[in-house]
Structure 1
């Protein structure tokens, strides 16, 4: 039942009640002016019945309006709820997609970081091994150089001693040769002097 219908019904009931009220008042006036007392009770009963009918009509109209308003409100609330659910589902879907993309990128970055860590660790181990090898090689070279220096010093000392011995021996040989040469020269001189003496004696004796 619509609001206009309820208003029309209520106006009709009011008009009827007013007409009936006027009739009742006329009847009441006539009843009062007449000696019959039963007319007053009849008029009151009729007025009571009209009031009850008007109250029932108003109650039915109010119930109809309330039911219609509740139904409309329920429809609006349900529509609003569906709209809210749709919006929530849409925003959840959007953010879920973004979160999923970001988490995938995060996993990719973590995997890349792990790969880089492995490469860096492998490179570090390789460099450490090279450093150890270079250090061992340098230690070996230093050891070899020290051995060479020691050997050189020892060889130089031995060579110097050998040269001194050779020089001493050569000097001794030279001295012996000089002494022998002096002896030979002296003997040759003595022989020449003896020969001169003999020649001189021989010349004198002849």
Structure 2
């Protein structure tokens, strides 16, 4: 009678604590003796252990390479960030220095304009005072001229009246001489 036998090899992964079916082998009683079965099982078990060891070694190697690559990329990134920060800081410093310079120039121009404005204001006040003094002088001269003109008119009127009176006296005198005579 043909009797089929199945052997199952279980590998327990310590890190995940679960059983994994690695390989199923069909064995017939007629073809294999009992001692061959144990040798095959030992051989498969040692192959599985070897495969597991190689797989773990490969995974460790891949993880190690990944970590190394990550560290290298991180170093490059850190260096780029450091350079970027240095450039940015230099640019900011340059901008602030230019800003300070511009503010100083604006303050200087403001002071200069304030000085010019104050000078113009003083000049304007002096000119206004001179114009006010000139107007007072003109008004006084006008008042004096009008007073003198009034006095001249009075004197002229008095002179005309005295000349007229004198003329009348002379005329009257001449008429008497002509009539008396």
TM normalised by structure 2 equals 0.73
- Cα deviation for residue 85 of structure 1 reads 1.2
> Highest Rg: 1 or 2?
1
- Cα deviation for residue 186 of structure 1 reads 7.0
Q: Which residue number in structure 1 is paired with residue 21 of structure 2?
A: none
- Cα deviation for residue 55 of structure 1 reads 1.1
TM normalised by structure 1 equals 0.65
Task: Determine if the alignment matches structure 1 residue 136 to structure 2 residue 142.
Answer: no
- Cα deviation for residue 117 of structure 1 reads 0.8
Q: Deviations over 1:92-145 (max 9, x none)?
A: 222222221121111100110011111111211221221122122212222221
Sort the Cα spacing of 1:133 and 1:143 in 2 relative to 1 into closer, same or farther, 3 A: same
Comparing both structures, which one devotes a greater share of its residues to strand?
Answer: 2
Measure, in 2, the Cα distance between the counterparts of 1:153 and 1:84.
99
Find the partner of 2:142 among 149, 154, 157. Answer: 149
Measure, in 1, the Cα distance between the counterparts of 2:118 and 2:124.
10
Deviates further, 135-144 or 55-64: 135-144
Measure, in 1, the Cα distance between the counterparts of 2:95 and 2:126.
46
- Cα deviation for residue 45 of structure 1 reads 2.8
Question: Larger RCO: Structure 1 or Structure 2 (Cα < 8 Å, ≥ 6 residues apart)?
Answer: 1
Comparing both structures, which one devotes a greater share of its residues to helix?
Answer: 1
> Which 4+ stretches in 1 moved above 6 angstroms?
184-187
Unaligned runs of 5+ in 2: 1-24
